[in-house]
Each structure stands twice: as structure tokens, then as C-alpha cells.
Amino acid sequence: MLSKDDVTALLSQEEGSRLEFKKSAHFNESVGRSVCAFANSGGGLLVLGVERTDGKTAVAGIAKDEAYQKMAAILPLLEPRPTVTYEEHTVEGKHVLIANVTALPIDQVCFFEKGVYVRQGSVNVEIRKHELVGFLRARGIISFEENRSPAKLLDLDKQKVSKHVAQRTGKPADIDGMPTETLLQSLGVANSVGEFYIKNAGVLSFAKDVSRFFSNTEIRVVKYKGRTATLEARESDQRFIDTAPELLEKAFKAIREKAGFSARVVDGKRVEMPMVPDMALRETLTNAVGHRDYFDPNGILVEIFDDRIQITSPGTLLPGQTLKNFADIRRHRNPVLHRILNDAGWGEGLNLGVRAIYRIMRQNGLPDPVFDDLGGFFRVVLYGSLSDRVSKPYGQISEMQQKALAYLEKHETLTAPAYAKLIGYSHPTAIRYLNDLVAQGILKRLGSYRSSRYVKDKKG
């Protein structure tokens, strides 16, 4: 239940991908489209009895019984019907109803009167027929790795399969004693019901020559002299194409070599260290291969500059994920490949998580990584010691942040509005302080709205 301060903070916000104000629930189609769009776009809050115009909030109030009746008439028009919960609040002496629309599971799509709607900013947008396939791909409903491949058993490398089984079980593989079809089915890379066939995941993991089937399973590593990508500054340009585990091994080795080493002072001593820590690079590169969109014809691009390494991969965040919450809301576009990489020994990276990258970089005296959703591509930038960016010492906690921790010694949760009031700073500044503690692994954020709650991270 939102507190009075939470509601005040909520009503001060602009409408966006997770929030919409409506003066009333009388317009069934408009409300239905909003509920449908929220259900397809990670969930959201529909605030009835309030309108937002010219940056100002006007509380009109609403008849509660009538609002409930309207919502009860609208929800059956949605298929499948999303879960909607309600909170009643009084603002300026008037009734306000907040409908919390829960996101549908990623393998489902909500329809409203035969239409599919999503949120784009503060607008509900209908997905047209020719756009629906792309939308289903983005949600993972049409799965690349589950699709049937034209590859045959002879196209797979038995030694790669044997190596994988040995890594998975921790003992020498005896694949001759088990039919190859059965083994591939047990790994989830071949169809196990009805007709046998090899899935795309099998080709991505074990093909003799993956380029015969997919031209985009590539990592391009470009090294530039200086800090700007120009033709004149390009020192080397390498392309690697292979099945996912082998691709990672080759690319990781090349990136580390091309990035080189730099001198840093550790415990008062000058030591030579890689531009970025191996574990941070490993995590970032593995995520790029494991989470990329294989429907996209492009490969992964790694650019190495004097001060940074930036990795750009096809694909965008999945529904329900944002740059603010994707570290905590983990979803896999390619779950089978994710497991294959985990079994192949690249799981250390996959299991570390985004917040661990922050910790590793800070522990090494390096700037925080930068994550950017480019709309169809996702980029991660890891900065080295030559960067001009300011690094944040690991474990450094300001006086204002100490107040948050002291508060959580006596209370289970802390909201940003309450913290802003506690320290006497603005709401954005309070969020910045709290999110810095989240990045350090000290706090954990629950929820996805401005009134999100913060708790102590037991893993931190």
C-alpha cells in the first residue's frame, strides 16, 4: 500500500511507460487500450480521478463504485486477462483509484478487442499485422534457438559435444554409450517429442562449421589508436566466427591481447594490469553472446580504444526491463544457449550479474561501466585507467548514505521520498545516493516506480 508521501510523489510525475493518469473510467476503449499496453510492456499504474496537463496535476476525483463497475466491464474484453489490483486514496479531499496492472508472462501477449497494444513513452501504440512478428520475437515467444534447423547429425562436431558433456558432468564423457540423438535431446538442443530434428541452439553450440548455417555468429574486434573511431586510427580489425563457447574463447583472448596492459598503483606498488579486469570483460562479453538477438543479421562489435572497451550487440532489453532495473530483473532471450555457456565454463560471467561488474571495476579503481540501450542494439562500455572519467572508490559511503543505512537498521524498507525528507535533499539526489548503494551491492531496490522501496542486500 502506497503511503501518503508515495502518492504525492507519484502524482508529481509525468506520464510515461509505467504511468498514466485518467480523469475517469468512462471511456472503455481508452482504458482498455492502456491496460492492454501495460500488460504487454512490463506493467504499470493507471491512476483514475487525476489528469495531468501542461505539467500540472489536477485532482478531479472519482466515484469509487462507478469506477470499479467500469473496470469490471472492461477487463473481460482483454485476452488473456491481466491481473489488476487496486488502491484507494484520498487526495485534496477527493477519491483517487490507482489500478496496478501486472505484466503478463513474457510468453503471453494481451489482446484488447483483437488488437495488441504496447507503451511507447506515454502513448499506447497498436502493433499492426506486419509488426506483430517482430514484437513476438522481441518477447521471445518466437524463439530463434528453438526453431528447427536444416542441420543434420553429420553437421555437428562430436568432439564439441563430448567436451561439453565432460564440462557439464565433471568427468570424462562416454558419449559412445548413448545415442547421439538422445544426448542432444537431453541437452535441449534437439526436438524430443515426435520427429527428431536439431534446433538452432544445437547449431550455435556444436556445429562443425556454424557459418554454413548462420553468417551473424560473429564477433568483430577493432583496435583504434587514440579515443576516436576513425579509419586513420584503426590499427587492426579481426573477425571471429565459431560456435558460442569457442567464439567466446577466441574473442576474449584477442580482446585482452589488443587492449594490452597499463600500470596501476596497488597497495603502494606499481603493477602491470589488463586495461579492464578479466572478470568484468568476461561477464560483459559472455552476456553479449548469450543474450543477443540471433534473428538480427548483424554480429557483435567490440571496439578497443586507449581508454575503454565498448561491446555492442544486436538486441534490446526484454519487456519489463529498463536500464534502471535490468540488473535485478533477469530474463534470457536464449535460455538454452545460456545454460550451454554456463556448463561450458563461461557461467562465472553469467552468474556474476551487472552489479558485480560495478564492484569489480570499483575495486580496481576504475570508472563505473556505462550501459546503453540504443534501440535495436545494446552497448556496454568498460573504462580503463587512462579514462578521464572519475572513479568511485569501492565501499566509500557518504554521510548522507550513512543515514540511509542507519534508517534501515530500525526499519525494513526505505522509500526515496522518505529518504529525501530525511536528508533534506531533492528527490533526484536521494535516488542517486540510494542507487549508488545499490551499485555497491549494499542495498537492493524493489519495485520499478519512483516510490520504489530499498532494502539491505543480504548478498552484499
**DSSP-assigned beta bridge partners for residue 301:** 220, 312
Separation CA 333–CA 313 (nearest Å): 13
Among the listed residues 30, 90, 104, 19, the one whose alpha carbon sits nearest the alpha carbon of residue 61: 90
Question: In this structure, which amino acid lies at residue 109?
Answer: V
- DSSP label at 199? B
Separation CA 187–CA 145 (nearest Å): 13
* Locus of grid cell 466515484: 63
Separation CA 302–CA 222 (nearest Å): 6
Angstrom CA distances, 186 to 72, 290, 343, 381, stand at 46, 20, 13, 37
Rg of the chain over all Cα atoms, to the nearest angstrom: 25
Separation CA 438–CA 436 (nearest Å): 5
Q: Is the separation of the CB atoms in 175 and 183 below 8 Å?
A: yes
Retrieve residue 2's grid coordinates: 502506497
Among the listed residues 268, 157, 143, the one whose alpha carbon sits nearest the alpha carbon of residue 206: 157
For the chain, domain boundaries: 4-139, 153-212, 218-383, 399-456
Helix (H, G, I), strand (E, B) or coil at 45: strand
377 phi/psi in degrees, rounded to 5: -135, 150
Q: Is the separation of the CB atoms in 412 and 303 below 8 Å?
A: no
CA dihedral (286, 449, 116, 22) in degrees, to 10, reads -170
Count of beta carbons in the 10 Å neighbourhood of residue 389: 14
Count of beta carbons in the 10 Å neighbourhood of residue 416: 26
Q: What is the CATH number of domain 399-456?
A: 1.10.10.10
* Locus of grid cell 516506480: 449
Count of beta carbons in the 10 Å neighbourhood of residue 408: 18
- DSSP letter string over 283-332? HHHHHHHHHS-TTSS--EEEEE-SSEEEEEEE--PPTT--TTTTTTS---
Count of beta carbons in the 10 Å neighbourhood of residue 364: 19
In residues, how long is the chain? 460
Q: Is the separation of the CB atoms in 370 and 380 below 8 Å?
A: yes
Retrieve residue 422's grid coordinates: 530525511
What pLDDT does residue 177 have?
A: 64
What pLDDT does residue 267 have?
A: 65
What pLDDT does residue 206 have?
A: 96
Distance of CA 159 to the CA centre of its chain: 34
pLDDT profile of the chain (460 residues), mean per 10: 85 87 85 94 90 84 89 93 94 93 85 90 84 72 84 93 82 67 88 86 96 95 96 96 96 96 71 88 93 92 97 86 75 87 70 74 90 92 94 78 90 90 85 81 72 74
User: Under CATH, domain 4-139 is a member of which superfamily?
Assistant: Schlafen, AAA domain (3.30.950.30)
Separation CA 324–CA 326 (nearest Å): 6
Separation CA 40–CA 429 (nearest Å): 31
Domain at 218-383, CATH class: alpha beta
182 phi/psi in degrees, rounded to 5: -65, -40
Separation CA 21–CA 45 (nearest Å): 8
Which spans in 342-444 are helix H?
A: 347-352, 354-363, 399-410, 416-423, 427-439
Query: H/E element holding 264?
Result: strand 261-266
- DSSP label at 125? E
Q: Is the separation of the CB atoms in 197 and 191 below 8 Å?
A: yes
What pLDDT does residue 306 have?
A: 95
